[in-house]
Amino acid sequence: MPKRRGTQPMARLWGWAGMYYQSGEATEKRRPLTRRAYSADGSGVRMEHAQAATAAAEPTSRYATINGLRLHYLDWGGDSMRHTIVLVHGGTAHVHWWDAIAPLLLPYGRVVAFDFRGHGRSEWPQPAAYGPQAHIADLREFIARHLRAPVVLVGHSMGGELSLRIVARHPELIEGFVSIDAPAGGPPLLTRLKWRWKRRRQGGARPEFASAEELIRRFRLSPPGHNLTEEQIVRRVGVIEGG
């Protein structure tokens, strides 16, 4: 329920795009990312902005042992006394999908991006153990046992849907939440059936490429068209030197 001030209902919402998670009052050391106050009729909106980062920031590659696996994350640094912002990628993606966004968030606090198990540079479980519950357990432990502070959780696609479950189940770990292109409850049934049909039609083993160069040439974005450099494509595809 929105808070009331006088006769006008008001709400404090945290975030900058997508879905907003309602949080409590900010402490002196933790300022809202963007503060919006809405009156009953939607008028009287005010916003506070911070200066965006203008110089490129280079993150540090780190690892944490979570649920017996060596899981990878990128740490851009920043002031954790303000906020800790955790960026969570979508399916078949990895931490470098946030490279263009993360430096812009540094004025708001510490920024880290998390690689789910089997993604990016994170370890593959043996035997294979994936799925929503495994990913949720890893992300929860990363926040609770490794970061050890409430975070602003930002999830894209699959990462947004999994993050929403953490918000619902463990609100004590969450200071704010942003969901980007992630419908609550996962993709619609028709979409999931189309994916299953496509996998069955393709059949056989997953394609292999003779070299990293061939993989980069075959890489396509959907919808088509982009202005990425070859270096940026390499980071998004996740080509790792030497293997």
Asked if 115 and 79 sit in the same domain, the reply is: yes
Asked if 126 and 82 sit in the same domain, the reply is: yes
Residue 53 lies in a domain: no
Residue 38 lies in a domain: no
CB 158 within 8 A of CB 91: yes
Q: Return d(Cα 91, Cα 73) in angstroms, integer.
A: 16
Asked if 172 and 223 sit in the same domain, the reply is: no
DSSP codes joined into one string, 61-98: EEEEEETTEEEEEEEEE--TTT-EEEEE--TT--GGGG
Tell me how many domains the chain contains.
Answer: 2
Residues of the chain with pLDDT under 70: 1-57, 186-187, 192, 195, 199, 202-207, 220-223, 225-228, 230, 233-243
Asked if 113 and 162 sit in the same domain, the reply is: yes
Please give the residue range of the domain that contains residue 225: 207-243
Q: What is the pLDDT of residue 198?
A: 74
Q: What is the pLDDT of residue 217?
A: 77
Residue 54 lies in a domain: no
Q: Return d(Cα 229, Cα 81) in angstroms, integer.
A: 35
Q: Which two tokens stand for residue 181?
A: 């292109």
Q: Which two tokens stand for residue 112?
A: 């880290």
How much is the CA Rg of the chain, to the nearest whole Å? Answer: 20
Asked if 236 and 129 sit in the same domain, the reply is: no
Asked if 173 and 213 sit in the same domain, the reply is: no
